[in-house]
Amino acid sequence: MSAARKRVRALRLNNRPVEVLAADNTLLLDTLRETLGQTGTKRGCDGGECGACTVLIDGTPRLACLTRTQECAGHHVETIEGLAENGRMSRLQRAFHERLGAQCGYCTPGMVMAAEGLLRHTPHPDEAEIRAALGGNICRCTGYVKIIEAVQDAAGTGAEAAP
Amino acid sequence: MELLPDFRVATPVSIAAALAAGKRHPGGRFVAGGTDLMVNLRHGIGAPTALIDLRAIPELRGIASGTGGMSIGAAVTLAELAAHPAVAAHYPAVAAAAAAVGAPAHRAAGTVGGNLCLDTRCMFYNRSAWWREANSFCLKHEGDTCHVAPTGKRCHAAFSGDLAPALLVHDAAVEIAGPDGLRRQPLADLYAEDGAAHLRLAPGEFLVRVALPPDPWPSAYAKARARGAIDFPLAGVAVALRRDGDTVAGLRVALTGTNSRPFLLEGTAALLGAAVDAAWRDRLGKLVQKQVLPMRTTLLAAQYRRRVASALAQRLAGALGGAAD
């Protein structure tokens, strides 16, 4: 990458302003993982098909492997690292943990961020809405049932309360 | 995946500035959401010296509706289009097609103009650089033989945008900006039946807006795909059908995913004036089967795509035509 790097103006990451340099052809996924050391966002297919790199940009799920870092100037990027509050898992993260919504765990950050994006504008989604929102996220352990139950649990729409 | 090529990005805020950027960077590409282009670039397909991001141009933004119909900016995202109440109410095929593109994260980034100008797809083309090189490349890019039809003269890659057929059945026109100014033409004229040159856009030209005429006919869109949650169409069909009592007074059918261009079915006039029954649907199905040209560009058999295109057209027309059986 020989292109000149320049500052990404007014970028916020997980509610904090960040200073970062990126060339025009640098991808957000590389900036997050390689420059900022935020490795919670995973590189899966690396081509927009699997959802492992899902982050929120201004609250909407987007794929970090298809997004240029410079596109994010003036915007708020949220990753899995930003969900915990004071070291405690968010309700959605806890639901994934308690409902066994993670097996190998590789798809989990993307799943959680896609679900987080859904719950922010649809706090009580039905199962069809959850399935649609997670449609672009692949779990190769195929643990989809538990993942959907986890989101239902976090939204309070599950069949039963968490034990 | 390869590294991205070493390009600069320009973000013009007016049509004039975008045209100037196009002139300044003859090796550049126009881009909006980039959900398809970025993947191709990572596959080593093309190495533009510049990307000209069109999304900050006011004329390309927003959806306006009135007595003259509806006007949709080329930089409107597919998510915005799918969620627009007036689009869903009056042009349901358009809303359904927008909602059927990719997954939510693709629709949040992908745009109307990008989907209409989507590159054609083929299982010998949408591959990594080393895969294509090991296979002697192909006619569409860097090679001289079409691996789908080696004795043929042209590329058979399939146009796979969902939006185009839905706009075609609503008789859409497109506004195009270019070095010679703004021009307006039917959407159908944007496309050619050649997988390696399917867009009739001159260098430096880009889509500005899509115009839909008023008083639309009831419409619907459906697609078959390998992965139900997120995939390009193996075949996609849009139908607009106007009824007069029990008979069909107007019919437009358009297809995607089967040919190198999205196209309006010809010969539908012969189906007017009749009621939609099993025999009518059979005639429509045969018409579709005759005009689609699926080739071995996907992992699923061409014959399956031919039949599924026909079945989808019959199903949609049956529902819109109020078939009793």
Mean pLDDT for the stretch of residues B279-285: 98
Residue B71 shares a structural domain with residue B195: yes
Instruction: Check residue A2 and give its pLDDT.
Output: 55
Looking at B11, B33, B53, the residue that finishes a domain is B53
CA nearest neighbour of B312 among B191, B245, B225? B225
From CA A22, how far away is CA B111, in angstroms rounded? 25
Confidence class for position B260, pLDDT limits 50, 70, 90 = very high
**Can you give the CATH number for the domain in which B23 is found?**
3.30.43.10
Residue B101 shares a structural domain with residue B3: no
Residue B169 shares a structural domain with residue B86: yes
From CA B112, how far away is CA B74, in angstroms rounded? 5
CB atoms within 10 A of CB A48: 26
Encode A15-57 in three state secondary structure.
CEECCCEECCCCEHHHHHHHHCCCCCCCCCCCCCCCCCCEEEE
Interface check B21 vs A, CB under 8 A: no
CB A158 within 8 A of CB A149: yes
From CA B162, how far away is CA B182, in angstroms rounded? 25
Check B105 against A68: CB less than 8 A apart: no
- This complex has an ipTM of 0.95
Residue B265 shares a structural domain with residue B185: yes
Residue B105 shares a structural domain with residue B162: yes
Residue A78 shares a structural domain with residue A96: no
From CA A114, how far away is CA A119, in angstroms rounded? 9
A160 is a domain residue: no
**Can you give the CATH number for the domain in which A102 is found?**
1.10.150.120
| Stretch (H or E) spanning A61 | strand A60-63
Mean pLDDT, all residues of chain B: 96
Instruction: Check residue A162 and give its pLDDT.
Output: 47
Check B39 against A66: CB less than 8 A apart: yes
Residue A11 shares a structural domain with residue A77: yes
Side-chain half-sphere of A11: how many Cα atoms within 13 Å? 22
A54 is a domain residue: yes
Site from B230, B231, B232 to mutate, A interface, most A CB atoms within 10 angstroms: B230
Side-chain half-sphere of B212: how many Cα atoms within 13 Å? 29
Q: Based on the structure, what is the number of domains in chain B?
A: 2
B33 is a domain residue: yes
Residue B208 shares a structural domain with residue B257: yes
Residue B224 shares a structural domain with residue B291: yes
Confidence class for position B325, pLDDT limits 50, 70, 90 = low
Side-chain half-sphere of A143: how many Cα atoms within 13 Å? 19
From CA B296, how far away is CA A109, in angstroms rounded? 37
Interface check B46 vs A, CB under 8 A: no
The residue segments making up the domain with residue A34 are 6-82
Site of tokens 């059986």: B325
A107 is a domain residue: yes
Check B8 against A3: CB less than 8 A apart: yes
Which ranges of chain A does DSSP label H, i.e. alpha helix? Answer: 28-30, 91-98, 108-121, 127-133, 144-155
The residue segments making up the domain with residue B112 are 61-117+158-320
Q: With a cut of 50, list the residues of chain A below it in pLDDT.
A: 1, 162-163
Residue B84 shares a structural domain with residue B220: yes
Question: Which tens digit of pLDDT belongs to each residue from B289-321?
Answer: 999 999 999 999 999 999 999 999 999 999 999
Q: Based on the structure, what is the number of domains in chain A?
A: 2
Q: Which residues in chain A touch residue B79, judged by CB atoms under 8 angstroms apart? A: 60
Residue B243 shares a structural domain with residue B287: yes
